Amino acid sequence: MIDTNVNRRQDNNVKWSVTKDDDQLLPMTVADMDIATPQFIREAMQRVLDQKVLGYTMPSTAFYNAIIHWQKTYHNVSLKRDQLIIVPSVAVGLSFVIRHLTQVDDGIIVMSPYYPPYRQLVIDNQRQFIEFPLVQREGQYVIDLDRLDQVMAESNAKAIIVCNPHNPGGCVWTTSELQRIQDIANAHNVLVLADEIHDDVAFSDNLPVSMMSDLMGEEASDQTILLKSATKAFNLAGIKCAFLAVKNPKLLAILKQAAAAEAIEEVNTLGLVATRVAYEQGADWLAEVNAYLEANRNFAYEYLREEVPMIRPMYPEGTYLMWLDFMAYGLTDAELDQKLRELGHICLNPGIDYGKTGSGFMRLNFAVDRAVLTDALKRLKTFDQAVRKK
């Protein structure tokens, strides 16, 4: 049974910290859930605490088996234990891979709009950030694959980050799109960094296909680094445990040696426990959560289209994030953020933080109790009415 009755105001968490200066403000931002972490995971962590010692711990065989079984059962990804490298987070893993499998000044292609840390990870590692704009077609993002081919041919790109489902747009890339990306990347000797952290938040009308799925073939797997964590689906962002999957023996050897040199696999004890239990026991809980999130998505999407038509929502095919187009109001990004806070008393993620193509957009997190979501949508309507009166 899922529990949506949580109060995080006093929790020192990133999302609700904005209310310290304005207790009327409702944050619908950071991509974790205002839904309780599953009780069976919390109980497993408590059993560790009850042993009274939080000493050195290593990943168990059961931990690896849980990941392998989950990926095969739900994503058709066949893995072996020695193909996995444990890291504290997907962001840490991306930085680690970029550092060890590319060179200074190499280009990294990132589809825009993008998860904001991507830019920092690329630039701070002295690589060139190649922003590749997605194209809107019938209200959804699509990848201009011919243009991608051209960019790879004309640039010094050595890797591309593929986020599937896409954050912030919520798009689930089709199998044919993913296969074409792999074909183009292979032709230009470009490494594919597959960020699939959101792929367990799946709705009945669209199931993501992994870049490392057996459906993609051996050649695709050979040039792919899969990055994944249980954190988004099971609300475990704070436990700091993720993994890389690498099938190419040469790339695996490089990363294994680097992981040993940096001791990067020394993740925390409770992260190992929570991840294992999530993948061993979490299927039914996750199905219930995803059904709840799907109903929230449908409710929010229809409400905005009917009640606030000047806000144009992109239909999320995955994730619990809704990408909202506010361009009809003619406001700058700064004005939009300010007026949402002042007139609607609501805080969303500013789209401009997600790259140039995010200008005029806002991102809303709908992984909340239905009553909270209803409140948020009514605040957007209040904002709309107040702006249009002026």
Please report, in tens digits, the pLDDT of each residue of the chain (390 residues total). 899 988 877 767 777 777 666 778 999 999 999 999 999 999 999 999 999 999 999 999 999 999 999 999 999 999 999 999 999 999 999 999 999 999 999 999 999 999 999 999 999 999 999 999 999 999 999 999 999 999 999 999 999 999 999 999 999 999 999 999 999 999 999 999 999 999 999 999 899 999 999 999 888 889 999 999 999 999 999 999 999 999 999 999 999 999 999 999 999 999 999 999 999 999 999 999 999 999 999 999 999 999 999 999 999 999 999 999 999 999 999 999 999 999 999 999 999 999 999 999 999 999 999 999 999 999 999 999 999 876
C-alpha to C-alpha distance for 5 and 7, rounded to whole angstroms? 7
> What is the bridge-based pairing of β-strands 349-350 and 140-142?
unpaired
Tokens of 181: 């990306």
Query: For residue 299, how many C-alpha atoms fall within 13 Å in the half-sphere facing its CB?
Result: 20
> Which positions ≥6 away from 207 have C-beta within 8 Å?
172
> CA nearest 234: which of 268, 203, 200?
200
- Rg (C-alpha) for the chain, rounded Å, is 21
Structure tokens belonging to residue 295: 């109903």
Cα gap 203→244, rounded to integer Å: 25
Six token digits for residue 343? 């007139």
Residue type, 303: Y
Q: Do the beta carbons of residue 28 and residue 242 sit within 8 Å?
A: no
The residues, any chain, with a CB within 8 Å of residue 80's CB and separated by 6 or more, are 68
Q: Which domains does the chain have, with CATH numbers?
A: 15-39+284-384 (3.90.1150.10), 55-280 (3.40.640.10)
